[in-house]
Amino acid sequence: MLSWVVFDMSMSRDEFQHTVLPLRDKLFRFSFRFLMNREDASDVVQDVMMKFWEQGAKMAEINNVEAWCMTMVRNKSLDQLKRKGRQNSSIEEEFQHPGHHQHPEKQLEQKEALEKVKAQIALLPMNQRTVLELRELQGKSYQEIAEVLDMDISLVKVSLHRARKKLRETWIKENEYGL
């Protein structure tokens, strides 16, 4: 008679706490950039973490947990945007105001400049905006971005170049010519 031995390959609580939970804030910020809503972003991150926990045995096969989680958050955020038909308009909630030790006039200038940059970023195509966010705000390498977005590394570089170029051109037009 054959007996089957079933091994419990699920992730332990400690492994989950040391591997996945530290990514929570980063995943939240990433989702928030898409959804512009704290509750929705929290829900997306919670769903991704629950999925990771529930599929513990399968998750052991993942080489880069962070890339997998970022990809899942991106996909779920985009799905939610499609379902709700919402548009990205402002990420003001996510940015912190300048320190109070600065002169009020300087604070106002910085706030206005930040608003201009946010508005310019919001006008970028979604893929350029996402690549720019991953590279500039989260400090991801080209390879990490390629893994998260499931795209060729050369396309990541091209998208980032185009996003930066567009922002630079728009900034120059706005500040030098008042357009």
| Tens-place pLDDT, residues 159-179 | 999 998 998 888 888 777 655
Burial (CB count <10 Å: 0-12, 13-18, 19+), residue 145: buried
State pTM to two decimals. Answer: 0.53
Q: Does domain 103-179 have CATH number 1.10.10.10?
A: yes
Measured distance CA(76)–CA(81) in Å, rounded: 9
Q: What is the mean pLDDT of the chain?
A: 78
State the Cα–Cα distance between residues 91 and 14, nearest whole angstrom.
Answer: 34
**Cα 122 to Cα 148: distance, rounded to the nearest angstrom:** 21
CATH 1.10.10.10 domain extents, the chain? 103-179
Residue ranges, comma separated, of all CATH 1.10.1740 domains in the chain are 9-88
| Residue pair 159/128 in contact by the 8 Å Cβ criterion | yes
The structural architecture, per CATH, of the domain 9-88 is Orthogonal Bundle (1.10)
